């Protein structure tokens, strides 16, 4: 054997994540977090989108957060390979927070039979696999606990669409034969979301409500076992808790219906139960308005103590009560409980709702949602103090590298995954005070192929079959 001419061999073993079941390269710091300002001068006064935020001992490395997005791809409530790839890919791209989609605490609380669920211990391991991977990348991940209420037992959006295209004119309610529960859809009152298309719900009994609270408590214990960093309670988009607070869908005459205090009783009870069991961050997502001003007039008319529909005034009251119970983050969305809603979607169209909460509620972190698609837009929302964090959804699916692209556009340097380092040479340039481009950490711009001009050769010859 010929002796190597190398004077000194590299003596260090490859560094992997300790305790992870397979080899996984170690990340020096959280992906998407700011690199040391002493080396990267552009980070001395970073844009607020990239300021970390700490909540109950959990540090979120930036403020571009992933909203929960239903994938309708679970197997009897369990996460599948789709979720591992879907959520794991986000963890590789530097999002400040990742959230598992609406996850039912009882089987009949699913929107579709393919929803995620956390109603039994057998489902724990599928979630733990994903959470362990995200944590191995030093990411932050939580889960949204939910109950679909009167919108349950429906077909997936794509199955419904294909059926309509094929001429189907019936309902979207899934039969028992196909895994549905059409006779066990539960709401606060027996009022269908859309007669003939959605199920006719059964009114939740007092016993059902007590068992539901126990189910949220049990799901919280499973979240502890799994290792989630935070929990969000789903109280938006016309699902059960939104249905309870809304006078249009709640016509009960017991302690959970009628007055505002009664209608918001169940969300507050659930939040209090989870807060007692959960010492990490707790979020609550709500719909701040039904968007019915043009249909039903004011949320509350003059000279009356009756609320006509759910809107920002009642939302403000509920949010302050949630804050007083120890909810840390309010995730401000809207709509979904009445098909008469008049919405005009546009960039940041829901921001005024978050801004109202931000200015009128004490001691709670406010998250904004709604067609947030550009780095400047996201950063301006926070810089202008209209919200503390931004949640992105569809933009995540369109552009999963958004956090890293935002850092590049806003002029700061954040950590990419070590495996993707060479793709971000433009962002990782170390600069002197005069902003002169310097060598990136370990890889020059040329090595990263970021500064090369495309080589232009002769045009390709056309194949003889092309006229």
Q: d(Cα 422, Cα 193) in Å, to the nearest integer?
A: 51
Residue 241 near residue 268, CB atoms below 8 Å: no
Cα torsion 376, 378, 383, 384 to 10°: value is 100
Candidates 40, 127, 133, 239; catalytic one? 239
CA dist list (Å): 326 to 146, 261, 270, 279, 365? 19, 18, 12, 10, 11
Q: What are phi and psi of 233, to 5 degrees?
A: -90, 130
Distances in Å between the Cα of 404 and the Cα atoms of 47, 60, 334, 420 are 13, 15, 29, 11
Residue at token pair 């679970």: 74
CB count in 10 Å sphere of residue 321 = 17
Stated length of the chain? 467
Strands in 382-428 per DSSP E: 389-392
**What are φ and ψ of residue 381, in 5° steps?**
-55, -40
> Is 40 part of the annotated catalytic residue set?
no
Distance of alpha carbon 430 from alpha carbon 443, whole angstroms? 11
179, 173, 286: which is closest to 240 by C-alpha? 286
Q: Helix H segments across 368-466?
A: 375-383, 394-398, 402-410
C-alpha Rg value of the chain to the nearest Å? 25
CB of 140 closer than 8 Å to CB of 98: yes
Other CB atoms within 10 A of residue 34 CB? 21
Please list the active-site residues: 239
């Amino acid at each position: 054997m010929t002796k190597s001419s190398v004077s000194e061999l590299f003596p260090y073993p490859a560094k992997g994540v300790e305790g992870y079941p397979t080899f996984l390269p170690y990340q020096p710091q959280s992906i998407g977090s700011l690199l040391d300002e002493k080396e990267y001068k552009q980070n001395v006064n970073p844009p607020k989108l990239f300021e970390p935020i700490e909540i109950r001992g959990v540090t979120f490395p930036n403020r571009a957060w992933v909203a929960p997005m239903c994938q309708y791809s679970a197997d009897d409530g369990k996460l599948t390979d789709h979720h591992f790839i879907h959520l794991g890919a986000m963890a590789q791209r530097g999002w400040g927070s990742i959230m598992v989609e609406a996850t039912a605490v009882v089987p009949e609380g699913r929107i579709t039979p393919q929803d995620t669920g956390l109603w039994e211990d057998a489902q724990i391991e599928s979630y733990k696999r994903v959470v362990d991977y995200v944590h191995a990348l030093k990411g932050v991940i939580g889960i949204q606990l939910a109950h679909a209420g009167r919108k349950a037992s429906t077909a997936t959006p794509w199955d419904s669409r294909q059926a309509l295209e094929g001429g189907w004119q019936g309902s979207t309610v899934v039969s028992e034969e196909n895994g549905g529960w059409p006779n066990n859809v539960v709401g606060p009152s027996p009022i269908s979301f859309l007669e003939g298309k959605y199920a006719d719900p059964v009114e939740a009994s007092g016993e059902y409500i007590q068992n539901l609270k126990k189910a949220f408590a049990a799901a919280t214990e499973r979240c502890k076992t799994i290792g989630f960093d935070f929990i969000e309670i789903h109280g938006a988009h016309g699902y059960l808790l939104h249905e309870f607070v809304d006078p249009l869908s709640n016509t009960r005459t017991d302690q959970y219906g009628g007055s505002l205090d009664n209608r918001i009783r169940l969300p507050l009870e659930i939040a209090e139960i989870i807060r007692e069991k959960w010492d990490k961050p707790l979020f609550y997502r709500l719909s701040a308005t039904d968007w019915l001003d043009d249909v039903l007039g004011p949320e509350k008319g003059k000279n009356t103590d009756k609320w006509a529909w759910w809107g920002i005034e009642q939302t403000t009251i509920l949010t302050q009560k949630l804050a007083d119970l120890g909810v840390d983050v309010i995730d401000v969305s809207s709509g979904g409980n009445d098909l008469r809603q008049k919405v005009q979607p546009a960039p940041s169209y829901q921001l005024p709702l978050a801004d109202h909460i931000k200015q009128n509620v004490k001691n709670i972190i406010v998250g904004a949602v709604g067609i947030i698609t550009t780095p400047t837009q996201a950063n301006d929302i926070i810089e202008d103090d209209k919200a503390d964090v931004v949640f992105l959804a569809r933009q995540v699916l369109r552009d999963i590298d958004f956090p890293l692209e935002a850092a590049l556009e806003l002029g700061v340097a954040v950590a990419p995954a070590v495996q993707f380092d060479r793709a971000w040479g433009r962002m990782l340039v170390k600069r002197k005070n005069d902003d002169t481009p310097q060598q990136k950490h370990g890889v020059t711009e040329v090595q990263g192929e970021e500064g090369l001009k495309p080589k232009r050769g002769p045009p390709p010859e056309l194949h003889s079959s092309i006229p």
